[in-house]
Structure 1
Amino acid sequence: MQTPTSPQVKRLVVANWKMNPETKKEAEMLARMSVKIGTGLKRSELVICPPFPFLGLSAYMRMPKSISLGVQDVYPERAGARTGEVSLSMVKDMKARYVIVGHSERRAGGETDALVSKKARAVIAAGMRPIVCVGETSRDGDAKYLRILREQLLESLAGISKNNASTLIVAYEPVWAVGASVADDPHETAETILFIRKTLADMFSERIALTIPILYGGAVSDKNAAAFLAHAGVQGLLLGRSGRDSKQLAGIIKASELTPFPQI
């Protein structure tokens, strides 16, 4: 059985551009930079998640196998009278393989666990992989945040069968660290990751839980990426602003390539 630490499984480095950049010219430059950094990777896969208008850039036409396209959200239907929405069939036709669902910034705008579940199930049914985000808004001393995480996992992954569970990717993003200058401590993150994996085992099975990659997101930089990969028990990273900075992205990719896989 391949687990997230098996030699055949690559780490995921997911660059979420969010609502950036402002122009197509800037997006082309950013895409070319990302493709250059992500070419020739052996132990990692770089997933570029641009805004919808920039999915069809020429820089993506000849991407190496070490780079994939993803999107930051999607509407969980193929087509219909849904003004302003973007469907699964549209993004799949643009060669997207991954879909971020339930990002903390979407949840802050009112996205519910039930809608996250609907999106995740629809993504799987469309033959793509959902990156399901969970995370607490604050870290308390009496472990209430763990109950919040468990509830998010149970409800956001509701309705996903054991047969489809290995398609999942879970991203742990403590909301208080997203966009902040200071990340979580990798050793404290490790305890939370163990809790998440235990919850996944309760939901599906221990065997299946070991096949589900867990990413960390929240103030990831070239300075702390290796520590998270070595000590936090994660199998990849979800980037925000550092995914748009050439120096930062190159350093994070280097850490992903060189840091040994820990055992889980």
Structure 2
Amino acid sequence: MKPYQLIANWKMNPQDETATLELAQGLYALEKNIWVAPPAIFLAHLFKKIPGMILGAQNMSAQPAGPFTGELSGAMIKNSGGSFVILGHSERKQFGETDSTVCEKIQQALSLDITPIVCMGEKEYMKDTNELQWEWDKQISTLFSDISPRAKLYAVYEPAWAISTTEGTLGSAPVQHIQRFHSWFRERFSYPLLYGGSINSESLPSFQFLPLDGFLIGSASLQLAQMQKIVTIIKDF
């Protein structure tokens, strides 16, 4: 079995320190190589309580410091025990985040030796290959401009229409769709490529033969029973 990187994106969950620690300890006991992105307020607490766990943030500012109310700097993440950050998640678009801003955040993270987990993908389901590739080309021309092809980062194919918490979701992307993206991406970059979008124990088996390097897991990562099934399935890949 090849090693797969699993990253748990807890989004705005859990709601208190006790539940957060309990879930994190459960995941760490299950599989020590699961990276966890909890709400930022719990980052330092988990780092102190579970020193071996790889922790990160769900977003960060493109600015190093200054008068930016409500923002989280890369230094804050690092000083709280975070070693990676999820950037460009489709749910951030509702706050006006652009690909240009995400590119600035990638650069800021890399300058601090924080590993960026860069999400990309189309907003709406498209069947036409030319239309899809035009959309993807447009994204990468901005996202990865001025980023070294040897940079330490992970890319995530995360089409917004496939995310389980998105209104009107179509479920996880069809295997052929992900394969198409992988082929297109590999012609341009060698960054490790993950998939995110309605990942759970029911959808995961269909991805067994795809040449992916891991998965970004959302709501399913909040359920230990689901994560136990996911880890078991991946061990059989």
Q: What TM-score comes out, normalization by structure 1 length?
A: 0.82
Aligned amino acid, residue 8 of structure 2: A
Matched, 1:151 2:138: yes
In structure 1, the residue matched to 2:230 is 252
What does residue 30 of structure 2 align with?
A: 37
Distance 1:60 1:149 in 2: 40
Moved more, 53-62 or 92-101: 53-62
Unaligned 5+ segments in structure 1 are: 40-44, 201-208, 260-264
Out of 196, 199, 205, the residue aligned to residue 220 of structure 1 is 199
The CA deviation at 1:63 is: 4.1
- Percent sequence identity over matched residues? 28
1:178 maps to 163
Question: What is the TM-score normalised by the length of structure 2?
Answer: 0.90
Mapped to 2, the partners of 1:19 and 1:96 lie a distance apart of 17
Matches of 1:13 and 1:60, distance apart in 2: 22
Check 1:149–1:108 CA distance in 2 against 1; reply closer, same or farther (3 A cut).
farther
Seen in structure 2, the aligned counterparts of structure 1 residues 159 and 258 have a Cα distance that, compared at 3 Å, is same
Determine the C-alpha separation between the residues in 1 that align with 2:128 and 2:194. 24
For 2:234 and 2:112, locate their aligned partners in 1 and report how far apart those are by CA, in whole Å. Answer: 29
Residue 60 of structure 1 and its aligned partner are, at CA, apart by: 5.3
What's the CA shift string for 1:35-74, capped at 9, x where partnerless?
22123xxxxx31100011111225753344xx41011000
User: What is residue 21 of structure 2 aligned with on the other side?
Assistant: 28
Q: 2 CA distance for matches of 1:38 and 1:121?
A: 30
Cα pair 1:48 1:70 within 8 Å, conserved: yes
Residue in structure 2 matched with residue 188 of structure 1 by the alignment: 177
Does structure 1 retain, via aligned residues, the 8 Å contact 2:117–2:156?
yes
**After superposition, where does 1:50-199 map in structure 2 within 5 Å?**
50-58=38-46, 61-64=49-52, 67-143=53-129, 144-164=131-151, 167-179=152-164, 180=169, 182-199=171-188
Contact 2:163–2:171 (Cα < 8 Å) also in 1:
no
Counterpart residue identity of residue 230, structure 2 = I
Deviations 1:229-248 (A, max 9, x none): x2222110011100111111
RMSD: 1.9
CA separation of 1:118 and 1:135: change in aligned 2, threshold 3 A: same
8 Å CA contact 2:200, 2:220 repeated in 1: yes
**Mapped contact 1:28–1:59 kept (Cα < 8 A):** no
Unmatched 5+ stretches in structure 2: none
